[in-house]
């Protein structure tokens, strides 16, 4: 996306974060920079920070969690498949994919501020992959592309009913159509931005959060 478009989405996201997390310290100890960084964009300190100083705090209500994903109407359909039951990261990816496709989603300001493309093997074309030929990384890149495509096909079959299981229930959710590009984006978001926090019901368990 153009830098100006990303910055505009960033302004909307910052307002959303201030509404959801007024104590986040946004504008006090940290800020967002959407262009001009060597890394592209990201979080920057708004002032000199002391060692061990708390500079950002995000409440759970402003996090997208694997529990939210699995307990949502969509998640209850997907959880019937063993693949999703054993892969909370994939569950989270499919959940945010549909949230992004829903313009009315409460998470839209956050998801719209994220990059549309990632510097990951999932986005490599044939020419870029060819540059890796002869190295172990080449096979790793092919493996992750093959694995993600397989997960996309299985997800499509599950939600359409072609693979048996939750097709009828999924039809009742009125899900929008989705493409491999949408799926790949969501998987990349989870790959690059997932963190873990303790579960409120069992501190020994960890939840994936974005």
* 131-138 long-range contacts, CB within 8 A, separation 24+: none
74-75-80-84 Cα dihedral, nearest 10 degrees: 120
Total-model pTM = 0.91
With beta carbons less than 8 A apart as the criterion, state whether 58 and 24 touch.
yes
Cα radius of gyration rounded to whole Å, the chain:
19
Q: Which residues pair with 65 in a beta bridge?
A: 209
- Integer angstrom CA distances of residue 122 from 18, 91, 175, 188: 33, 18, 25, 8
Contacts of 143 (CB under 8 A, 6+ apart): none
For 26-76, the pLDDT digits (tens) are 999 999 998 888 877 889 999 999 999 999 999 999 999 999 999 999 999
pLDDT digit string, tens, across residues 131-179: 999 998 999 999 999 999 999 999 998 888 655 555 667 777 888 999 9
């Amino acid at each position: 996306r153009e830098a100006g478009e990303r910055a505009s989405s960033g302004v909307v996201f910052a307002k959303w974060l201030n509404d959801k997390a007024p104590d986040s310290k946004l504008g006090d100890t940290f800020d967002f920079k959407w262009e001009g960084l060597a890394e592209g964009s990201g979080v920057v300190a708004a002032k000199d920070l002391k060692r061990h100083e708390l500079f950002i705090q995000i409440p759970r209500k402003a996090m997208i969690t694997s529990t939210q994903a699995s307990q949502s109407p969509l998640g209850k359909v997907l959880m019937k498949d063993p693949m999703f039951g054993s892969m909370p990261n994939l569950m989270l990816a499919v959940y945010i994919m549909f949230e992004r496709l829903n313009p009315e989603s409460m998470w839209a300001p956050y998801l719209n501020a994220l990059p549309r493309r990632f510097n990951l093997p999932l986005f490599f074309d044939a020419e870029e992959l060819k540059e890796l030929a002869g190295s172990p990384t080449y096979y790793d890149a092919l493996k992750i592309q093959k694995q993600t495509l397989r997960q996309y096909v299985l997800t499509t079959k599950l939600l359409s009913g072609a693979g048996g299981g939750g097709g009828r229930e999924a039809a009742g959710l009125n899900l929008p159509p989705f493409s491999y590009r949408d799926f790949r984006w969501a998987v990349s978001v989870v790959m690059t931005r997932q963190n873990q926090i303790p579960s409120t019901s069992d501190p020994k368990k960890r939840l994936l959060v974005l």
